[in-house]
Structure 1
Amino acid sequence: MSLNLDWNNEQTDYEISEELIARLNRLLQAAGETEGVTEGEVALTFVDDEEIHRLNKEFRNIDRPTDVLSFAMRESAGDEPEMEITYEYEQGEEEGPELDEMLGDIIVSVPRAIAQSEDYGHSVERELGFLVVHGFLHLLGYDHQTAEDEAEMMGKQEAALQKVGLTR
């Protein structure tokens, strides 16, 4: 097995091309390699502001949209929300992915990514990449509650983005 990106697009604000997915997959591989994570599956879903607002309210009790949410399958921090995952199997399939293989879900608000890319003066692809690697690091247990933790996460995010050419 390897590190796999399984994605779904539930928004219409920005075209999610196969080239973008390939680049995000390379980004996931680069971040995973740096962290020593070479196996597992990450489910990535692109949504609109209304959906991420709903999820943020439901799972974090925060009544506003946000840019990215992460739901780790293996919780390492007590303050992260839990999300119930239901697998649907194809007819004839005896089992689906093993839970030990699933790292978690990353939900990205595409309208937020577009607005933030304009605010920061870089491409939408770069902002989407930043949010994906940010979410991935959260799946691995990283957080940014302190200045030191935030600096560590930012360094790891920037290094992964540089490796795949998603620069400012």
Structure 2
Amino acid sequence: MNIDLVDETNEIKNDQLKLINEVLEFTAQQESVEEEAEVSVTFVKDEDIRQINRDYRDKDYATDVISFALEEQGEGELEVVGDDLPIHLGDIIISIDRAKEQAHEYGHSLDREFAFLAVHGFLHLLGFDHDSEEDEKKMFEKQETILQKFGLKRYET
């Protein structure tokens, strides 16, 4: 899978970028995602994700992660077809400010929180959601299983 990692904050360490790349590759394997698939992950500050959340979701607050699935066809949109086109799953945007706060709040490492948010966003791109209690339970169990199999325990500091 082709993963484009963009750090707009200049605060993410190389080993953290490597971890995100590895956990997303692992998740893609677990979910049988095609090897040609593409995804981008962008790290931003709270003010940037707040603006994105406001502009695209009509929610005027900073959130931890937002995903934009590109393979979903919206109402009135034309389907783009072609055998030679790679599958672009979409974009994941992660707030490093929220990630730092949540890592502290949950008592685990920032690396683990980044991995959690990346997997969470990636599962959204694959069609998982948490709009209902049942869907939320299913999605959170799946992401926790993936992180455990990958070797990132919940309360590691």
- TM bin, normalised by shorter chain, reads 0.7 to 0.9
Question: Which stretch shows the higher mean deviation, 100-109 or 53-62?
Answer: 100-109
2:125 — aligned with what? 139
1:51 — aligned with what? 48
The answer to whether the 8 Å contact 2:67/2:122 transfers is yes
CA–CA separation in structure 1 for the residues paired with 2:30 and 2:53 = 29
Q: Report how many aligned residue pairs link the two structures.
A: 146
- The answer to whether residue 87 in structure 2 is matched with residue 101 in structure 1 is yes
Look up the equivalent residue of 1:130 and give its one-letter code: F
SS where residue 59 of structure 2 aligns?
A: coil
Moved over 3 A (4+): none
- The answer to whether residue 12 in structure 2 is matched with residue 26 in structure 1 is no
Deviations 1:61-97 (A, max 9, x none): 111111100001111687xxx9xxxxxxxxxxxxxx9
- What is the aligned counterpart of 1:70 among 43, 51, 67? 67
CA–CA separation in structure 2 for the residues paired with 1:114 and 1:134 = 16
Give 1:137 deviation, angstroms.
0.3
Percent identity, aligned pairs only, is: 47
Scaled by the length of structure 2, the TM-score of the pair is 0.86
Structure 2: state its 5+ residue gaps.
78-83
Structure 1: state its 5+ residue gaps.
83-96
CA–CA separation in structure 1 for the residues paired with 2:117 and 2:3 = 14
CA–CA separation in structure 1 for the residues paired with 2:74 and 2:32 = 20
1:160 — aligned with what? 146
Look up the equivalent residue of 2:126 and give its one-letter code: L
Scaled by the length of structure 1, the TM-score of the pair is 0.80
